[in-house]
Structure formats: structure tokens, C-alpha cells
Amino acid sequence: MLQISSDITASLQKLLLGEAPENPELLDAVNTGNESLTSFIGKHYFTDYLPQGGSKIKFITGRPGSGKTHLSRLLCADADKNGYLTVSFSAKNVCLYDFREIYLEILRQCDIEKVLSGCADAIIRSMDYDPAQVGEGKAFMDYLSEKGEADALSRSEIRTALRSFFTKNPRLDNSFACCCSLLTGSILGHPVLEPSNRELLLKYLYGDKTVKLSQLRALGLSPSRITKYNARHLLRSLAETVHLGGYSGLLICVDDMEQVAAKSSQGIIKYTKLRRDDTYESIRQLIDDIDSMRYIMFLFACGRELIDNESSGFKSYPALWMRIQNEVVGSRFNHFADILDLDRYADQAYTPYILCEMSSALADALNSSAEGVYSPIGEETALSLTDRARYGALGLPYLVNRAVVEGCDDHA
């Protein structure tokens, strides 16, 4: 039986409410039925396409409890194992109608200093040194000084590498590149950057409006404020830098997108009609720009109302809908489609046998922390759940979850 640590009580409580657990161990323990979808995306996108400079946007949709959040978290965990930097947030908490806020949230979760530390390590390796030998908390120039190799030639090599990585890189925004070059140089120990200037650059990168642009000009920058108009270009620069820092790419998961079309607010963000249209326009512009980006993938998880509702969903904004609708719809689930419909996937992938497997995995996970009070469903209940799903009931993963929580074989 699976042994689960005691620090996942909160995740178990979410699971009992039909919500996806956050704990990766528990998430993996109850993963049944999604294998073909996750392995497909892992192979064709995480392994083959994105590391070669690809970019992609996918929408995950389905009824409540169909497994949208669960799939997003599974893919985040899979991407993390494959060397990706992963970011996830909810439309309830981040203003999707202003791309500046989207970009800044992504930047905050990326931890730009950690990314630039990876860039510094890459520069050290390009000079035929081992970053592991430098020592934690020690600048590369200090290491060279100890070896008697901190000469003018080494300094010149560092400056040349910084220019190649950042300021001479045509895929990076100039101001962003200059900031990254100075900050990476400070990590390497050349050129030396005063602590006050380092803090100033970080504040500017993170969109602090109190920073005076005149202070940045003194450092050789030609800065401009971060706005919703240049944020997508900055995101492209960030994705490039993440890859330079040693990551395979950048995966961004945005959950609860149905909040955009909701009549009442369920989070800290209230979406009016104007803000909803601005959100759709932001996504439309992102779709148009995505081919100019590299090493990046967006996953937007949304309820069916965002796809089906013609008055407030994607269809209410034709400029967006014409870019994401599937012109040809076949009888089989298309793994390459921009819209992954989990209800349709369930019709083909979730057989009664799979439902029983899902139930057993869930019951085992819960029983490992609850002294065996949960029972998996039987074949008869599995058939009943399949029929209920066809007639518009809640998603199958949710129904299986409730059946197990009830702890009996004949109640769903």
C-alpha cells in the first residue's frame, strides 16, 4: 500500500471535495486514465518540440470535475521532471485583462536571480571551467584570483560572453538584456555592480513604478516602463533567458479561466464585460505572437461555458474565436488539437475498467492516511457512472471521487 507522508492533509481535504491535490506524491498516486494524454504531450511537446525552439498554446476544457486542474498539475510535474521551469496561477487571482500583470506574475514565479545564476554557470562552462568547483557563495572572479588567472584576458572573455548571451542577442529586448547582463556580471564578479544598483535593476525588472528611469540611464540603459503593449516582447525575452539558464523551456499553466465569463466573482478579480473583452484581446495577441517566441508553452484550463457560451465565452469575441476554433472535427479525440476537450476524451478513454482503476488508486491513497475507511467502486457502479456522464452529469473523475468518499459499492 502506498505510504503518504503526514504533511499532505490539506491535499487530502481537497481531494475529498473533488478538487485536484497539490501534493505531487498524491497527485501521481491517483493518476489513472490520463496516461495516454500526458505521455503524448510529454513526448511530442516536452521532449521533441519545445526544446528545439518550439512554442505552443493549448486550452484544456471540460465540465466541473472533469480533471482540468488535475491534468494541468500532472503536466507541470512532468515538465518539471524534464527540466522545465513551471509557472501556474489562477484567473481568480491574476488580472488576465492586463498582459503586464500576466508577465510580472510569470517573472515573479520564475525567480530571475536563479535563472541568471544558471546563465552565469553556462558562461563559466563556456570558458572551460566547472561551476561546481567555484564554490557556493563565491564569485567566479574570486575563484580565478585564487588560481592566479584573473588576468585581462579572462575579464575580456567574460565581457564577450555577456554580450553574446544578452546585449548582442537579437531575440532579447534591449533594456531587459542590459539588466540581465549587469546582474549576471555581478554574479560572476565582473563587471562589479554596487549592491544599491543591483537592487535598482531588480526593482525595475519586477515592474516597481517607484524606480526613476533617470537612475537607470546612469547605468547605460535606455529604459521604458513595462506596459501591456511591450509585456509580450519581454515575455519572449524571459523565455529565451530561461533557456540560456539551462532549462528546457518555460511552461505556464493558467487555471479557472471560466472566471472571466462568470456573472459573480469567486476570487479577488472582478471581470466586467470590458475587462472580459480585454482578456480575450490579450489572449488573441498572445496567439498571434506565439510563433515569434521559443521554448515556451501555455496551458489555459477553462470550463465548458468559455467554449460554448456565445454571449460571454470565446465566441463573443470573434477575433479570438476564429484563431482557436477547430475547423475540422473528427470522430476521434485529437491530441494535437489546440482545444483539449476532456469530456470527449472521457467518452473514449474512461471505460468501466479504467473507472475501477481510478477508484482503487484513490481509495488506496486515502486509506493510507485514513485507516481504511474508503472503498473502491465495483463494475456495476462503474457502468452507472459511465451512463450518467453521457447524459450530462458531472465529470467522471468527480463522480468516481464522490463514490469512493461515500465508501460503498452501490452509491455514486
Domain final residue, candidates 195, 227, 259: 227
The predicted pLDDT at position 411 comes to 41
Same domain, yes or no, for 172 and 201? yes
Among candidate residues 28, 49, 31, the one with its CA nearest the CA of residue 335:
49
The predicted pLDDT at position 243 comes to 98
Domain membership of residue 105 (yes or no) is: no
Contacts of 391 (CB under 8 A, 6+ apart): none
pTM for this entry: 0.90
- Structural domain containing residue 394: 1-25+350-412
Same domain, yes or no, for 343 and 359? no
Q: 85 pairs with which residues across the strands?
A: 250
Same domain, yes or no, for 263 and 407? no
Strands of the 250-255 sheet, one edge to the other: 85-90, 250-255, 296-303, 55-62, 339-341
Domain membership of residue 103 (yes or no) is: no
Q: Which amino acid is at 137?
A: G
Same domain, yes or no, for 65 and 128? no
Section 313-338 average pLDDT: 83
Q: How many domains does the chain have?
A: 3
- Could you write out the DSSP letters of every residue in 207-248? T-TTS-HHHHHTTT-------TTTHHHHHHHHHHHHHHTT-S
Q: Which tens digit of pLDDT belongs to each residue from 91-144?
A: 999 999 999 999 999 999 999 999 999 999 999 999 999 999 998 888 999 999
Same domain, yes or no, for 219 and 248? no
Q: Which tens digit of pLDDT belongs to each residue from 164-186?
A: 999 999 999 999 999 999 999 99
CB of 286 within 8 A of CB of 234? no
Domain final residue, candidates 227, 254, 269: 227
Domain final residue, candidates 227, 244, 264: 227
Q: Which tens digit of pLDDT belongs to each residue from 285-312?
A: 999 999 999 999 999 999 989 999 999 9
Same domain, yes or no, for 53 and 82? yes
